[in-house]
Amino acid sequence: MPSPAAARVRRISVTRYVTPLREGGSLPAIVEADDNGLYVLKFRGAGQGARALVAELVAGELARVAGLPVPEIVFAELDPDLARTEPDPEIQELIRASGGLNLALDYLPGSVMFDPVADAPDGFLASSIVWFDALVTNIDRTAKNTNLLMWHRKLWMIDHGAAMYFHHGTSDFVSRAKDPFTAVKEHVLLRLADAIEEADTVLAPRLTQSAVEEVVARVPPEWAPEAHRYTAYFMARLEEPRAFVEEALRARAQHL
């Protein structure tokens, strides 16, 4: 049975625009594809551009390698001619600006947003998600915007477009790989994360250099010509001692 890292990212073609998801800042949409499946499409032509799709792809697939619950991610070919059937000018413009290759996630029908009050994942899963988000510098898993879904009583991680925020700033981001992730103090699952050190022991060995290289190699060159540098960044970040783990432990101690 192939490892998660060995799995290839499938390609689909969008056949129908179904409805926008206006709660997302980049105006993602539910679309139908040529395999008759429904997907949540992230548009390359949205305000955040291709780098948000890179973060979605790399963070999402690294999470899968780590054994965390993420919907299937696929490459999605979008025909700009689909804009002709859409009455909303904003959507028309977005479709035309995104013609070609985009990214999509498997749509989870009937899923509901995670409720920090009513839903309580076990401590190891909560710790694993906190650990992972600190690794990939995901600033968008807060009580205001959890980016977590409950589907068939299972927790799912979605929307990693705000992860890897380091690559929106300095081009010398590899030198910042050892930076702590102070935003972890806002993580929605921090109060439940009572096994961060155990999660570190379990998850870090799964993210081998070959696994990270395989994930990074999936990034289309036109989306991020410097993508090969992400491997160096993450491998340096995973070297011990891991400052992001120490920061997560410190933040949780102050949170209690």
Per-residue pLDDT tens for 43-69? Answer: 999 988 899 999 999 999 999 999 999
pTM: 0.94
Report residue 23's pLDDT band, with 50, 70 and 90 as the boundaries: low
Provide the angle, in degrees to the nearest 10, between the axes of the packed helices 243-255 and 123-135: 130
| DSSP SS3 for 77 | strand
- pLDDT tens profile 111-165: 999 999 999 899 999 999 999 999 999 999 999 999 999 999 999 999 999 999 8
Measured CA angle at 219 (ends 215, 224), to 5 deg? 130
